[in-house]
């Protein structure tokens, strides 16, 4: 059987744009049963040099500095939206209008209003979508979900989620779009906890209500000196500007199931580098996953011989592990989670059935972040709309 060609259009050639591209490329090898051969058609970036790199380094056939060229290209079947947050709504609405299924990075919109518009546009156009909630795809998370679903942990009582990173811990870190309310929306609530809210929802169900507090501790940063500075770039000596969104957030939550939980996040933590942890506790056991030790799941079951955690090393049989490594103990990496995401997106496009996290999941995370922001302002509990 000859493979079906899927024309890929990319909008924004930054960290995520490059990673989406590598992920599409891996589909024929990692997911041969999809019978899909991605064709890298056209990439857009506002910075001409970055757009050109998409041709020279990534293998796109053509490039442009105008995203509209991607959406109007008849060879493009699917679109990746990997732009900074403030452009997501414009690009997603345009993709929906052009009838192109899109894979959009998180946070989907800068706020709930934008996320509602994006979700509605995709639904009205009848498009399948994907949102960049890659941590769902870790085999350890798949195994955790399986354990929870088959009742191994008993009734879920509480959840602890903490997303602690150090990417902004240096006061000389450049003031890129991520620190501006106009271009990013919220700070860690959207940037990091969108993943946390999604992961907790994926494992234990919908969040009903939250109470939160937030803080900004590095209140000024220097503007970047180069056009393609990232949030990992340093910018000593540039013009100082105010940081407009939160560095740290603490959220407590009630889930629809009756479970309760905490969500903690920082982008200025010193020590944890990308320590993204979820712990789920039940009446019969608990589990703990840390992205920094992505290939392990710590599990403790009352029925086990010993209390305390057992480290379960990911092996063939856990989630999609076997697609990447033949034997347990050999590690998968972050990029592999995105390869799975690409496959879920493309499978959604090919089958017409939504397999990847959708715009509705993007909206659910936005609602949790928005409720947390409102709670931090009002100092009251805020219910999430249904
Ligand atoms: N899923 C994850 O774990 C994850 C990780 C990192 C970033 N992200 C998300 O991915 C998105 C992009 O983040 P990034 O780290 O790749 O950013 P980045 O800064 O590395 O890249 C952004 C790119 O967008 C380009 N751009 C700016 N304006 C544009 C325009 N008008 N048209 C086309 N391109 C334009 C920039 O030139 C740059 O190349 C953000 O929404 C971010 O939250 C998700």
89 has a pLDDT exceeding 90: yes
The pLDDT tens digits for 339-385 are 999 999 999 999 999 999 999 999 999 999 999 999 999 999 999 99
Q: Predicted confidence band at 259 (pLDDT cuts at 50, 70, 90)?
A: very high
Q: Predicted confidence band at 234 (pLDDT cuts at 50, 70, 90)?
A: confident
Q: Predicted confidence band at 233 (pLDDT cuts at 50, 70, 90)?
A: confident
Q: Mark 225-253 as b/e (b = at least 16 C-beta within 10 Å).
A: eeeebebeeebeebeeeebbbbbbbbbbb
69: left (phi over 0), alpha (psi -120 to 50) or beta: alpha
How confident is the model over 241-245, as a mean pLDDT?
96
Q: What pLDDT score does 306 carry?
A: 66
67 lines ligand 1 (CB under 6 A): yes
229 lines ligand 1 (CB under 6 A): no
51 has a pLDDT exceeding 80: yes
**56 C-alpha to center of ligand 1: Å?**
19
Judge contact between 195 and 276, C-beta under 8 A: yes
Element (H, E) at 88: helix 88-97
Residue 190: HSE in the Cβ half-sphere, 13 Å Cα cutoff: 28
The pLDDT tens digits for 94-121 are 999 999 999 999 999 999 999 999 999 9
Q: What pLDDT score does 2 carry?
A: 83
Mean pLDDT of the chain: 96
Sequence spans of domains, the chain: 4-134, 137-332+358-383
- Domain 4-134: give its CATH architecture: 3-Layer(aba) Sandwich (3.40)
Which CATH number, 3.40.50.300, 3.40.50.620, 3.40.1030.10, 3.30.360.10, labels domain 137-332+358-383?
3.30.360.10
130 lines ligand 1 (CB under 6 A): no
Largest CA distance in the chain: 62
Q: Which of 10, 11, 16 to mutate to test the pocket of ligand 1 (most atoms within 8 A of CB)?
A: 16
How confident is the model over 321-337, as a mean pLDDT?
96
Q: Predicted confidence band at 307 (pLDDT cuts at 50, 70, 90)?
A: confident
Closest-CA residue, ligand 1 atom 31, reads 46
Residue 344: count of CB within 10 angstroms of its CB: 21
Judge contact between 276 and 163, C-beta under 8 A: yes
71 lines ligand 1 (CB under 6 A): no
Asked if the domains 4-134 and 137-332+358-383 are classified in one and the same CATH topology, the answer is no
How confident is the model over 323-348, as a mean pLDDT?
97
Q: What pLDDT score does 228 carry?
A: 65
The pLDDT tens digits for 66-87 are 999 999 999 999 999 999 999 9
162 CB burial (10 A radius; 0-12, 13-18, 19+): buried
Q: What pLDDT score does 240 carry?
A: 93
Q: Predicted confidence band at 237 (pLDDT cuts at 50, 70, 90)?
A: confident
**23 C-alpha to center of ligand 1: Å?**
16
Q: What pLDDT score does 304 carry?
A: 72
**160 C-alpha to center of ligand 1: Å?**
29
């Amino acid at each position: 059987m000859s493979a079906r060609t899927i024309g890929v259009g990319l909008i924004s050639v930054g960290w995520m744009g490059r990673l989406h591209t590598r992920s599409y490329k891996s589909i024929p090898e990692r997911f041969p049963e999809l019978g899909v051969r991605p064709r890298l058609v056209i990439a857009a970036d506002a910075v001409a040099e970055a757009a050109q790199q998409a041709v020279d380094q990534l293998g796109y056939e053509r490039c442009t500095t105008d995203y509209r060229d991607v959406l109007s290209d008849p060879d493009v079947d699917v679109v990746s939206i990997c732009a900074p947050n403030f452009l997501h709504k414009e690009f997603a609405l345009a993709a929906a209008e052009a009838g192109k299924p899109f894979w959009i990075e998180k946070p989907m919109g800068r706020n709930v209003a934008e996320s509602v518009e994006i979700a509605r546009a995709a639904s009205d156009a009848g498009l399948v979508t994907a949102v960049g909630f890659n941590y769902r795809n870790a085999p350890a998370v798949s195994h955790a979900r399986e354990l929870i679903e088959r009742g191994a942990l008993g009734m879920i009582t509480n959840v602890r989620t903490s997303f602690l990173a150090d990417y902004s811990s240096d006061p000389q870190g450049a003031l890129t779009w991520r620190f501006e309310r106009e271009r990013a929306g919220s700070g860690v609530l959207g940037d990091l906890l969108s993943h946390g809210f999604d992961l907790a929802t994926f494992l234990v169900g919908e969040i009903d209500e939250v109470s939160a507090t937030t803080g900004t501790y590095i209140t000024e940063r220097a503007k970047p000196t180069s056009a393609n500075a990232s949030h990992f770039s340093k910018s000593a000596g540039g013009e100082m500007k105010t940081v407009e969104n939160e560095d740290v957030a603490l959220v407590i939550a009630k889930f629809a199931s009756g479970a309760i939980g905490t969500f903690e996040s920082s982008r200025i933590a010193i020590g944890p580098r990308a320590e993204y942890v979820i712990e789920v506790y039940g009446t019969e056991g608990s589990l703990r996953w840390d992205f920094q030790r992505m290939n392990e799941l710590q599990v403790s079951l009352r029925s086990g011989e010993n209390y305390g955690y057992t480290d379960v090393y990911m092996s063939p049989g856990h989630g999609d592990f076997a697609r990447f490594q033949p034997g347990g103990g050999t590690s998968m990496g972050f990029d592999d989670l995105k390869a799975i995401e690409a496959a879920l997106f493309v499978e959604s496009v090919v089958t017409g059935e939504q397999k990847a996290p959708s715009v509705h999941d993007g909206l659910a995370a936005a609602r949790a972040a928005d409720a947390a922001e409102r709670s931090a302002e009002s100092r009251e509990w805020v219910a999430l709309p249904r």
